[in-house]
Amino acid sequence: MRFSLRLNNDLPLADYIALARAAEEVGFDQFWVSNDLFLRSALAILPALAVATERIELGTGILNPYTLHPGEIAMFAATMDELSGSRFNLGLAAGAGEFLKWVGIEQGATLPALRETIEVMRGLQAGERAAIDGRFLHWSSEAYLRFAAPRCTPIYIGAMGPKMLALTGELADGALPLLFPPEHYFGVLPYLQKGIAQRKPDLGELDLAACIWVSLADDRAAARRVLAQKIAYYGHALGPLIWDRLGLVKEDFAPIEQAMMVERDEEKAIALVDERMLRIGIMGDAKDVIERLEPLVAAGARHLSFGPPLGPDPLQAVQLLGQVVRHFA
């Protein structure tokens, strides 16, 4: 059984060091940091964590090949492995189109972009010249790392849609599908299996992380508010597949988006988040998390990944999640 913790890149640097050390102490195997636009850079946070920790694996959750060039991603991954003693995992995805538009980026064909990025990543880290003339990348034979990478860094894909999940099953070392709600674990399996059927044997078994939003605290009302705040910010961008699973439509989030993005009234937006929307994640205490996840573990889930907001006090939430780790370990 594996356990991982996922953090947004919106905290002070000192908090990440404290949280990573706490996660290592209570038994987590992996610690992921996002790299969302206009927040703190995971590319600066993760090296600090590599120095501050000893055992726990570290990862980007996620980078995309649009805002960071694949060549620079390869450089960063190899250098992080060198710094951390090969404890780095590279999380990739296409990125959220809604947010990429903020900086004038149109994603285009996301599947070729991810496929080609993975191809050149592995080639570069194997010491090859990564010449490619694809749909997304056009590189000459001068594209190669000028130093020896410690290994081919494990690549995890943050997949949501059916085609990206299939690509993940075929090519990635691991999968980071956001499960909205957690029970969607059963929904992603058929699409991953479709890709696994095309998987090369030398890639080994896919590490499927069941990625869940949690908000834990001794104060249930405080835990609810923090999860509602997260949903108020991201809910409108989650897409029809997720809305449908919860019995919702985009229009249900329109008043929340109006309050949050136009009126800049966060409290109003939080108040508009209803119980159906809150089913996206899990709130409460360790017992609530265990109860909700027992069916997933019984069905074969072997990697539980707990993500933001974690709770009103993230450090306390890590300690509470330690109870979940001990229960399922």
pLDDT digits (tens, 9 = 90+) for 173-223: 999 998 989 999 999 999 999 999 999 999 999 999 999 999 999 999 999
Provide the pLDDT confidence category of residue 54 given band limits of 50, 70 and 90: very high
Contact between residue 256 and residue 269 where contact means Cβ atoms under 8 Å apart: yes
pLDDT digits (tens, 9 = 90+) for 87-97: 999 999 998 77
Cα-based angle 239, 243, 249 (whole degrees, multiple of 5): 95
Q: How far apart are the first and last CA of the chain?
A: 6
Supply the pLDDT for residue 95.
83
Supply the pLDDT for residue 287.
97
Please name the fold of domain 2-213+283-328: TIM Barrel (3.20.20)
Supply the pLDDT for residue 323.
98
Supply the pLDDT for residue 234.
85
pLDDT greater than 80 at residue 243: yes
Burial of 14: CB neighbours in 10 Å, binned 0-12, 13-18, 19+: exposed
pLDDT digits (tens, 9 = 90+) for 113-139: 999 999 999 999 999 999 999 999 999
Euclidean distance between CA atoms 14 and 66, whole angstroms? 29
Burial of 7: CB neighbours in 10 Å, binned 0-12, 13-18, 19+: buried
The residue extents of the domains of the chain are: 2-213+283-328
Euclidean distance between CA atoms 224 and 248, whole angstroms? 19
**The model's pTM:** 0.94
Provide the pLDDT confidence category of residue 304 given band limits of 50, 70 and 90: very high
Euclidean distance between CA atoms 187 and 18, whole angstroms? 35
What proportion of the chain, given as a percentage, has pLDDT over 70?
100
Euclidean distance between CA atoms 325 and 329, whole angstroms? 6
Of the candidates 226, 244, 232, 224, the residue with the CA atom closest to the CA atom of residue 181: 244
SS3 38: coil
Supply the pLDDT for residue 259.
96
pLDDT digits (tens, 9 = 90+) for 170-187: 999 999 998 989 999 999
pLDDT digits (tens, 9 = 90+) for 268-284: 999 999 999 999 999 99
pLDDT digits (tens, 9 = 90+) for 6-52: 999 999 999 999 999 999 999 999 999 999 999 999 999 999 999 99
Distances (CA, A) of 141 to 138, 147, 230, 290: 10, 16, 45, 51
Q: pLDDT averaged over the chain?
A: 95
What are 316's two structure tokens?
């306390």
Supply the pLDDT for residue 235.
87
Contact between residue 167 and residue 159 where contact means Cβ atoms under 8 Å apart: yes
Of the candidates 307, 310, 309, the residue with the CA atom closest to the CA atom of residue 320: 310
Distances (CA, A) of 56 to 205, 233, 308: 21, 30, 18
pLDDT greater than 80 at residue 239: no
Residue 2 β-bridge partners? 303
* Residue 240 backbone phi and psi in degrees, to 5: -65, -30
